[in-house]
Each structure stands twice: as C-alpha cells, then as structure tokens.
Amino acid sequence: MPPDRLCRNHLLGEHAELHAIWSILTQGKSGFANHPETLRWKGKLKALYSRHERLADEMALRGYMHKSPLLVELAVGAEKQTDYVDLPEEQMRMLAAKGCGCCL
C-alpha cells in the first residue's frame, strides 16, 4: 500500500510496527519474532529500510516530526518484499472497508 493512501492512524501505526519488526530482526528480540508479519521480513532488511523511508517521507509531507531513523548499515538482504500475509489488493480492500480514510 503506498503510504500516501494510508490514513493518519494507519500511517503512524505501520511506522511503529515497522520499528518493532526492525528491532526484532536486528537486535534478536523475541517478542513477536514468530509472527507472520515479522517472518516475512527476515532476510529483507533493505526492503524494510526502504519501506521505512517511504513512510517517513509521507509523515514529513503531512507535517509530522520524524525522529526515529534506522541505521542504513543494518539494511542488508533483499531489496524487494515479495512475501505477503495478505496480497496488496486484499490489504487495500480490507482498509477501504474500515471507512477510516485509507485508499481514498
């Protein structure tokens, strides 16, 4: 889902979740380490870093202060995410159905 299609709550929520996944994968934290959303990013820290940058850019465009950069040195592995818990089309459908302003 392109970050500019996310409502405020989902943009900020995904940013927070991404930081949790980053911590698990780069620091060996155990919380949610076996969650499907975490597992799909194993070996794809470059892609996760890129997603973070896209989210941070959108946050800046909306006037939010971003003070949590990721260490680019840790961004290794695959550059593209190809594994999904729900396919992007299904993600968009689910978010649009919430009536929160996503996908508009």
pLDDT of res. 65: 94
In a domain, 49, yes or no: yes
Q: Are 23 and 32 in contact (CB under 8 A)?
A: no
Q: How many angstroms separate the CA atoms of 81 and 32, rounded?
A: 19
Note down the domain range covering 45. 3-97
Would residue 103 count as lying in a domain?
Answer: no
Domain count, the chain: 1
Residue 86: what pLDDT?
92
Per-10-residue mean pLDDT of the chain, 104 residues long, equals 94 97 94 94 98 98 96 98 92 90 81
The number of residues making up the chain comes to 104
Domain for residue 77, yes or no? yes
Structural domain contains residue 102: no
The predicted structure's pLDDT at residue 1:
86
- State how far the Cα of 12 lies from the Cα of 6, in Å rounded to an integer: 9
Q: What is the reported pLDDT for 31?
A: 85
Q: According to DSSP H, which parts of 1-104 are helical? A: 8-27, 36-39, 45-61, 88-97
Global pTM exceeds 0.95: no
104 is a domain residue:
no
The pLDDT of residue 73 is 98
68 inside domain: yes
Q: How far apart are CA 26 and CA 11, in angstroms?
A: 22
